[in-house]
Amino acid sequence: MRILITGGNGLLGQKLVKLISEDSNHELLATGRGPVRFPYNAEYQEMDISDAGSVERVFNDFKPEAVINTAAMTNVDQCELNQADCHIMNVDAVKVLISACTKYTSFLLHLSTDFIFDGSHGPLREEESPRPVNYYGETKLEAEDLIINSELNWALARTVLVYGVVSDMSRSNIILWVRDSLNEGKTIRVVDDQWRTPTLAEDLADGCYRIVSQKATGIFNISGKDYLTPYQMAIYTADYFGLDKGLIEKTDSTEFKQPAARPMKTGFILEKAQKELGYEPHSFIEGIGIVARQVDSIHKN
């Protein structure tokens, strides 16, 4: 199958490139803004998904049978402060991709988020009614609606609080933040009133790969399986690395003033993905170990 990935330089994009490039059954083209930033042996082309001409050139040349759209503006506060830019990347660009996928009869897998929900309860099934509390969530829901109402063969992979590392260590995450802060003897304040099912990037890539390989249609929750608060995540991280948990102070969301509201409770029930895709994510503790080993390997190289 000819598979095209957007956002190939991002965290999920890089994990997908690594995973799919190791399968000789598929022909892979990774795309993104700017020059290639991953170390894997895979074809890469620059493509701006908000530019219809750029997308048409790549689609006409490669003629993808399946597209995995991981590209988006995902910084929630930046989305709130720069709504025009957010709408271009998260909605207008999706319209461009829908048009191209329709023309070339490409299957479209689009990445979505738990932030389309209001946070009143959780964990959530695929059938829950969305009600976003910030602009990022509004744009992701608008994109979902565009895809659902299109004539494409499509799937949505909704996910939650993705963590992991890339080869150039250009991204941080809650595990590295907690480890590095405690190693430096810093006291950190972590909220204990928001609930999530944190997702290892490799697990999310695996779930997406399963959807595309099967051309499974519909909405799938693809996240971690442990229902945790950030405070609990920090405690698990401190335990794993043998660091001082006394430096971790429990607090709540009222202590942090952020431009965008956050849903208090999300997290996902994974029964559909487990049953229909055979998806089985790692535990959060296993995820900490995987990230730690990857960081060690990167530093050794």
Q: Report the pLDDT value the prediction gives residue 140, as an integer from 0 to 100.
A: 98
* Per-position pLDDT tens, the chain of length 301: 999 999 999 999 999 999 999 999 999 999 999 999 999 999 999 999 999 999 999 999 999 999 999 999 999 999 999 999 999 999 999 999 999 999 999 999 999 999 999 999 999 999 999 999 999 999 999 999 999 999 999 999 999 999 999 988 877 899 999 999 999 999 999 999 999 999 999 999 999 999 999 999 999 999 999 999 999 999 999 999 999 999 999 999 999 899 999 999 999 999 999 999 999 999 999 999 999 999 999 888 7
57 domain residue, yes or no: yes
294 domain residue, yes or no: no
CATH number at residue 132: 3.40.50.720
83 domain residue, yes or no: yes
Give the count of domains, the chain: 1
Q: Report the pLDDT value the prediction gives residue 171, as an integer from 0 to 100.
A: 79
- Residue 69, helix vs strand vs coil: strand
For residue 2 the two structure tokens come to 């000819």
Instruction: Please write the tens of the pLDDT for every residue from 234-281.
Output: 999 999 999 999 999 999 999 989 999 999 999 999 999 999 999 999
Residues 6+ apart with CB under 8 A from 97: 6, 49, 55, 67, 69, 108, 110
212 domain residue, yes or no: yes
Rounded to 5°, the CA angle 8-12-18 comes to 70
Residue 39: domain span: 2-163+200-225+267-283
124 domain residue, yes or no: yes
Q: Rounded distance, CA 68 to CA 153, Å?
A: 12
- Residue 256, helix vs strand vs coil: coil
CA atoms within 13 A on the CB side of 275: 5
Could you tell me where the DSSP H helices lie in the chain? 11-21, 52-62, 76-81, 83-87, 93-103, 135-148, 174-183, 201-214, 230-241, 271-277, 284-300
CB 248 within 8 A of CB 231: yes
Residues 6+ apart with CB under 8 A from 184: none
- Cα–Cα distance list, 197 to 15, 88, 104 (Å): 19, 28, 36
Q: Report the pLDDT value the prediction gives residue 177, as an integer from 0 to 100.
A: 96
113 domain residue, yes or no: yes
